[in-house]
Structure 1
Amino acid sequence: MNRRSLTAVSLAVAAVLSLSACGGGGGKSGEGDEIAGADGGGSTSAAPEPSASPEVERPVIKLPKDMENVFEGGATGDPVVEAVLRDNEGRITSLDEAIHTRSLERPAFGFYNTGQAARGAAVWVQGFYDDGITWTGTVRYYDRKVTVEGKEKDKALLSYCSDETKAYNKDIKTGKTSGEVDDSADSRVFYITRLVKNDKGVWQTTEVNSKRGASQCR
């Protein structure tokens, strides 16, 4: 299976797959786990968020050249929706940075992830460490849909699909890749994610659900 499956540590999504606007990604582990920087702090630097004032700087995230994420549909004309999408992109990339650097202590991880999402993501990333692998190639994120919730417009539900057809596990010691699949549907994952805008104006992911091979992404 392309990359290491996130589904094994994700929440069940059967009850929410029928929602018209969805979102998603991780899993959960022990309730007492703490993730460094999960209060949304950390060293920073990056592009401005249209909906936050004053603007908080985002952590710089650096990935190797052979690890690429492609995000489709970011320009919607709605500054709140675009802010949600941008910080979700930051979250996804922060997980890949943690995989690449072999560290969950990078500033971006706790900046974009909190609560159940942070704990589940930590379990998923730790799996890469335990297996002695990273990943290489390109993952495409598409069909991204946002529903903004709450009177203060400080909550959001985000659904999207990922296509891991061109992403492969890579053994850290040997550099060899693996993960080719016969059925391309196994390389597509449907996500439903909940986000909350914190007092710094950052849309942090609080809950993630995923389903590999979901019909929504075929």
Structure 2
Amino acid sequence: MNRRPTLLAALTLTTAAALTLSACGSDDSSKGKDNDKIAGADTGDKPSPSPSESEASPGGRPTITFPPDAKNVFEYEKTGDAAKDAVLKDSTLSVNSVDEAILKGNTDTKALGFYNVGKALESSISYAQRYIDGGDTWIGETRYFDYKVTLTGEKKAYVTYCSDESKSYIKNRKTKKVDRSPADADSYVLYNTSLTKNADGVWQTSNIGSDRGSKACQP
């Protein structure tokens, strides 16, 4: 399908992270075609049914909102490990924050710099800005699934997951025209991400890479 421009950031993998990526089916985080995406919404111990709703967070965390015609569904179950579950939650909020910037047409949002740092933040801003400069947004539903998380110490983690973009589409803000190109192998993307826990206990995404069309994510 015709989807998003590529989000690129260098992803440095430790041995532990490489093992996680191998389990997911690929350790190639640098590849990607010119239409990768990231997204944002609610999550929990079951698939999220309403990611267009506000994501209210305690402890001074910013609220993330989506319009009614765009949503993401995150499918994972809690691991039972408090640290891993916190990593997974903040990983989805990182995705949320980037899509919120795209949907609002503004990269100066509180959440974008709250859940992303370093190369991931730089790439996320550039990625969202390409949408804004092109006059585009997106509608529909993106599904995220097959989550795997690895902790390396108390403040470092790696998360891999897949996305299914077969039901989400590019929309031109001015003309309202929607590109409903049919789904194909490139509608599925493997993501490899690195997260670091900050002093406030937030797991911030510091690096992200993607492999569009990865066989590991194909139905």
Structure 2 length-normalised TM? 0.78
Match of 2:104 in 1: 101
Q: Aligned-pair distance for 1:76?
A: 1.7
Q: Distance in 2 between matches of 1:175 and 1:191?
A: 29
Q: Aligned-pair distance for 1:6?
A: 2.0
Q: Distance in 2 between matches of 1:176 and 1:100?
A: 15
Which deviates the most, 173-182 or 186-195? 173-182
Structure 2: gaps of 5 or more residues:
32-54
Match of 2:212 in 1: 212
The structure-2 alpha-carbon separation of the partners of 1:25 and 1:137, relative to structure 1 and needing over 3 Å to count, comes to farther
Deviations 1:131-183 (A, max 9, x none): 11000000000001000012xx2100100001100000001011111051352
Q: Aligned-pair distance for 1:74?
A: 3.8
Match of 2:56 in 1: 46
Superposition pairs of residues 179-218 of structure 1, within 5 angstroms: 179-181=180-182, 183=184, 185-218=185-218
Q: Distance in 2 between matches of 1:174 and 1:188?
A: 27
Q: Find the residue that maps to 2:170 and give its secondary structure.
A: strand
Aligned-CA RMSD value: 2.7
Q: Distance in 2 between matches of 1:25 and 1:47?
A: 30
Structure 1 length-normalised TM? 0.78
- How many residue pairs end up in the alignment? 189
Structure 1: gaps of 5 or more residues:
28-44, 49-55
The question of whether the paired residues in 1 share the 8 Å contact of 2:64 and 2:96 is answered with: yes
Q: Distance in 2 between matches of 1:26 and 1:61?
A: 28
Q: Aligned-pair distance for 1:200?
A: 0.3
Q: Aligned-pair distance for 1:83?
A: 0.5
Q: Does 1:138 align with 2:141?
A: yes
Deviations 1:97-151 (A, max 9, x none): 100111111100000010000011111111101211000000000001000012x
Q: Find the residue that maps to 2:210 and give its secondary structure.
A: strand
The question of whether the paired residues in 1 share the 8 Å contact of 2:137 and 2:170 is answered with: yes
The question of whether the paired residues in 2 share the 8 Å contact of 1:161 and 1:189 is answered with: yes
Match of 1:42 in 2: none
Q: Distance in 2 between matches of 1:114 and 1:12?
A: 13
The question of whether the paired residues in 2 share the 8 Å contact of 1:73 and 1:142 is answered with: yes
Q: Distance in 1 between matches of 2:175 and 2:119?
A: 34
The structure-2 alpha-carbon separation of the partners of 1:94 and 1:194, relative to structure 1 and needing over 3 Å to count, comes to same
- One-letter code aligned to 1:199: A
Q: Find the residue that maps to 2:18 and give its secondary structure.
A: coil
